[in-house]
Amino acid sequence: MELGTVKDELKSRVAKGLNFGVEAVEEVLQSGSDLYNQFILLKSKYNDLLYMSSLNTLSYEQLSLGLDRLRNHLIQIIDQMEAQHLGKETVEQSFNISALPTRRANFFKLLDIHYLNLNAISFVEHIGSDITNRQAGRKAVFELLQGHRRRFRNREDIVGEQGTLIIKEHFSSWFQNETTGLEVYLKNIKHMLEYALASEIEQEFFLATLRSLFSRFEQGFIFYYAFSDLDPAFSELVIQGKIVDEGVKTLLIRKEDYELLFAN
């Protein structure tokens, strides 16, 4: 295989995922070459970053920045390769998926956090000083969403663009002031979506798993957080990940708002 072809194949592996790029470069790079020390330093940093990620001590932004820097460095190593640097002139056609169990393990740790956050969501209803209804988890989500729907029942001013603005402002204000536990819950959903969409090889598995998690009432809150425009990045991830399906329409204050969010 010609040097240019080898480089092209190595870069295609990097495009599939940094782990695949690291494994492919290690496969062809000669251990005695002057580029090998650079590669060992990169691989060491890569493994340290994976370890930190497994401890959940890094935000997605920090992890993404670290991976981007390593990816750029790896591409620079590939660009510097000459024939004398190669210990092998072919790249195996089958992917070595040894790193996938680690990515899945990290993903399932995020799911564990998701369920902890879900069970921490609370709803308390009072009549006077007496608590008449106390719920947690999915039951709390159900009660909270039903409360918002009752608030808008029979209102005649929520039509057209004016109605869109009223509903967006209502949920924007509520999400910024709520004390039910939904803030942390939604932040972790954002993290899970970012993690899922960052993995080309495992993306569909991760997204399919996420889509199976949420009840219709949870989807309702995910929808209204995205619809409120409080966090445009969250809204874009929800649209891209397709984690809210059309079944949520029956729970919305206005069914037509679904098309307004997912028009594209």
Give pLDDT tens digits for 166-201: 999 999 999 999 889 999 999 999 999 998 888 766
Res 55 pLDDT > 70: no
Number of compact structural domains in the chain? 2
Of the candidates 76, 92, 108, which is a domain's last residue? 92
Per-residue pLDDT averaged across 79-102, rounded? 72
Mean pLDDT confidence for 61-68: 80
86/120 same-domain check: no
Q: Note whether residue 108 is domain-resident.
A: no
Q: Give me the pLDDT at residue 244, please.
A: 94
Q: Is the pLDDT of residue 64 over 90?
A: no
Asked whether residue 50 is assigned to any structural domain, the reply reads yes
Print the domain residue range for 33.
3-92
Please determine, for residue 69, whether its predicted confidence score (pLDDT) is greater than 70: yes
Closest alpha carbon to 141 in 214, 234, 244: 214
Q: Residue 96 has what pLDDT?
A: 52
Alpha helices (H) along the chain: 3-16, 18-28, 36-54, 60-80, 100-120, 138-152, 160-177, 182-197, 203-211, 216-227, 232-241, 257-261
Query: Are 190 and 67 members of one domain?
Result: no
Same domain, 171 and 257: yes
On whether residue 37 sits in a domain, the answer given is yes
Question: From CA 78, how far away is CA 8, in angstroms rounded?
Answer: 9
Confidence (pLDDT) at 232: 93
In a domain, 86, yes or no: yes
Q: Are residues 233 and 127 in the same domain?
A: yes
Distance between CA atoms of residues 245 and 59, nearest Å: 28
What pTM did the predictor assign? 0.65
pLDDT at 78: 93
Tokens in use for 66? 């670290």
Determine, yes or no, domain membership for 105: no
Give yes or no for residue 154 having a pLDDT over 80. yes
